[in-house]
Structure 1
Amino acid sequence: MALAERFDRLDALRGVAIVWMAVFHFCYDLNYFGFIRQNFYTDPLWTVQRACIVTLFLFCAGLSQAVALEQGQSWQRFWRRWAQIAGCAVLVSIGSSLMFPRSWISFGILHGIAVMLILARLLAPLKGGLWIAGLAAIVLPQLVQHPFFDTRWTNWVGLVTRKPVTEDFAPVLPWLGVVLWGMATGRWVLAQRRGWLADALPAAAAPLAVLGRWSLSFYRVHQPVLIGALMLVVALRR
């Protein structure tokens, strides 16, 4: 398999996740600035959507790791990409602390991906055992909770007794299970002579594939753009 080979269908799937996330965030921003009135913290319309978006993102992350390992990605190249993700996570924490001093993001989706990619890479030798490890990661937080994990310094593990007050929270447990299942699925698909991943992408979905290739860059800029635009609208209305 060529090192530079890309799978347009995987990129498009990631593109779907990024578009869905952007729409969700735009609605959240509209609510924050008072254009709509919604409860993004308890209303199933929004909480279920968020869970689905995070699941899709992390499943794609697992699929991507399966492809990277199949293509022989070195640890050096892995760390270069990881540093970009971790850097963006730090920026999210800084930006959210300015907008939400009481509920800033200490361990959101990017923080979670940064940690879970390392764990997934280390667990990759399990091969078929990834399914079992993924199931264990998903089930464990339902069985084990302790107040020790309720602080900002420890809640990233996921064994919390209550959800922390924060604008985004994607702890290692149970979400590592989704990443591991994504990796296991990717390995299974690649073993079938690349199967679904290698099929041609419908022309109509090509823009999603392009967006999926630049998902981190899009993630980094979309909220500042959306928030800036809405702040301008608010200022003009005044």
Structure 2
Amino acid sequence: MAHAPRVMLIDIARTCAIVAMAIFHFTYDLELFGFAPRGTMTSFGWVWFARCIAGSFIFLSGVSLVLASLSGPVDLRKYARRMAVLGAAALAVSLGTYVAMGAAFVRFGVLHHLFLAGLLGLVFLRLPYWVTAALGVVVLSMPLWSVWPFFDSVGWLWLGKVSTGTPAMVDYVPMLPWFGMYLLGMGIAGGVNAFGGWARLAGLAHADNRLVRALSWPGQHSLAIYLIHQPVLFGIVYTARLLAG
């Protein structure tokens, strides 16, 4: 069976999300070492900037799952390897932030979310696109409901709010309501496919164009960049702090 053409625009969109993430983390480091005013990262604009970044990664992952299935059934062996790498990366983030941040370590961040969403997404893959999109909207709207799932211990942090209170964490992206962005990405991607839109979108950015290749490269290596960029930025700002006395 022929493979569907790679949609470079999705890679470029992921590159934009990576750039935004690097800007956020660099500003976080600047505040941490006193180059930016205290409270910068907890201001309204930066909080929503962080949410948009996380939402974009999750949405694009949902889109990518649908794109991977357009040429036929998902290669479960290859997909399992990818999930294993993603799960190991999520564990590395938890361990690394525990060493660096102590009690504020990442218990369930964006990589943890993408790992579990990638597994759950397979269950929704064959639903009609409009059903998946509608489910995504329902899950995203859960914070607006008068009834919200409450649980008794931090062991349920991965799902959503807990009755014991949420501990301080440097990254927290629970399944509810954020899995709604993943489902919405799947639903919209399925709708684009139903109307024959992916072939046209693939034709808007060709891999033989040098600029397109340059812009899409970071998006094609987003996990590696995610793991590497913050230690590099942290080291740069830390060194600047030492030099500045």
**Structure 1 length-normalised TM:** 0.91
TM-aligned CA distance change 1:195 to 1:120, over 3 Å: same
Is 1:225–2:201 an aligned residue pair? no
- How far apart are residue 146 of structure 1 and its match? 4.7
- How far apart are residue 213 of structure 1 and its match? 0.4
Does structure 2 conserve the Cα–Cα contact (< 8 Å) formed by 1:40 and 1:47?
no
Alpha-carbon separation, structure 2, partners of 1:22 and 1:62: 22
Is 1:61–2:61 an aligned residue pair? yes
Alpha-carbon separation, structure 2, partners of 1:98 and 1:196: 47
- For residue 226 of structure 2, what is the amino acid of its counterpart? Y
- How far apart are residue 206 of structure 1 and its match? 4.1
Residue 154 of structure 2 aligns with which residue? 152
Residue 79 of structure 2 aligns with which residue? 78
- How far apart are residue 181 of structure 1 and its match? 0.7
- How far apart are residue 141 of structure 1 and its match? 4.0
Deviations 1:193-214 (CA, angstroms, capped at 9, x unpaired): 2255313228655422111001
Alpha-carbon separation, structure 1, partners of 2:124 and 2:90: 23
Is 1:216–2:223 an aligned residue pair? yes
- How far apart are residue 217 of structure 1 and its match? 0.8
Alpha-carbon separation, structure 2, partners of 1:178 and 1:147: 21
Deviations 1:4-32 (CA, angstroms, capped at 9, x unpaired): 74211010001100110011110001111
**Which of 231, 234, 242 is matched with 1:235 structurally?**
242
Residue 137 of structure 1 aligns with which residue? 139
- Percent identical pairs in the alignment equals 32
Query: Unpaired segments of 5 or more residues in structure 2?
Result: none
- How far apart are residue 41 of structure 1 and its match? 5.5
Does structure 2 conserve the Cα–Cα contact (< 8 Å) formed by 1:10 and 1:197?
no
Does structure 2 conserve the Cα–Cα contact (< 8 Å) formed by 1:134 and 1:176?
yes
Deviations 1:207-231 (CA, angstroms, capped at 9, x unpaired): 2211100111110100111112222
Does structure 2 conserve the Cα–Cα contact (< 8 Å) formed by 1:189 and 1:196?
no
- For residue 47 of structure 1, what is the amino acid of its counterpart? V
Give the 5 Å matches for 1:112-123: 112-123=113-124
**Structure 2 length-normalised TM:** 0.88
Residue 192 of structure 1 aligns with which residue? 195
**Which of 171, 177, 194 is matched with 1:174 structurally?**
177
Does structure 2 conserve the Cα–Cα contact (< 8 Å) formed by 1:145 and 1:160?
no
Alpha-carbon separation, structure 2, partners of 1:2 and 1:211: 26
Residue 26 of structure 1 aligns with which residue? 26
Is the partner of 1:156 in helix, strand or coil? coil
- For residue 236 of structure 2, what is the amino acid of its counterpart? A
Residue 109 of structure 1 aligns with which residue? 110
Is the partner of 2:127 in helix, strand or coil? helix
Alpha-carbon separation, structure 2, partners of 1:147 and 1:42: 25
**Range that drifts further, 20-29 or 69-78:** 69-78
Alpha-carbon separation, structure 1, partners of 2:199 and 2:3: 18
Deviations 1:138-193 (CA, angstroms, capped at 9, x unpaired): 123433335425x3311110144554411111001111111111011111112232
Deviations 1:109-131 (CA, angstroms, capped at 9, x unpaired): 00011011111111112223102
Pairs aligned (count): 237
Alpha-carbon separation, structure 2, partners of 1:206 and 1:38: 39
Deviations 1:77-133 (CA, angstroms, capped at 9, x unpaired): 111111111111111111111221121100000001101111111111222310222
Residue 91 of structure 2 aligns with which residue? 90
- For residue 179 of structure 1, what is the amino acid of its counterpart? Y
